[in-house]
Homo-oligomer: A and B are copies of this chain.
Amino acid sequence: MTTPPQHDPAACIRVSEVLGRVGDKWSIQVVSALGKGPHRFNELRRAIDGISQRMLTLTLRGLERDGLIGRKVTPSIPPRVDYWLTDLGQSLLVPVQALGDWALTHRTSVDQARNAYDRMVDE
């Protein structure tokens, strides 16, 4: 086992705030997609499987408000809007990646535990 981090109530609250911000259904995926580089609106729409236009818009607005992504409107015809990660957004990608790595590493363990649990309670 690694050193168990101690419980810090203040840190807990911060974690909750972060999760409230990026823990919604789509934010992480948008940030991750923008990790590749700038994207236009419909490029993101295609890159993120299952997201609706409405939710993409709302998610992008939220991330922009929090300073995680930038937005540039080019008023051509047809209009063009580009999104990209700010430095702040890039920095968030690091711990997010760590969480993804955890998921990749321990996925089978979780699945096994889940199956064992489900068998135990019959079903």
Residues of A within 8 A of B (CB): 1-2, 4-7, 11-12, 14-19, 21, 23, 28-29, 32-33, 35-36, 64-68, 85, 87-88, 90-104, 106-107, 109-110, 112-114, 116-118
Contacts and interface: CB of A to CB of B under 8 A. Distances in A.
B91 A5 contact: no
A16 B28 contact: yes
27 contacts: A1-B87, A4-B90, A5-B97, A7-B33, A12-B28, A12-B33, A14-B104, A14-B107, A15-B96, A16-B29, A17-B103, A17-B107, A18-B100, A18-B103, A21-B110, A64-B117, A65-B114, A67-B109, A68-B110, A68-B113, A88-B110, A91-B102, A92-B102, A94-B102, A98-B98, A98-B99, A99-B99
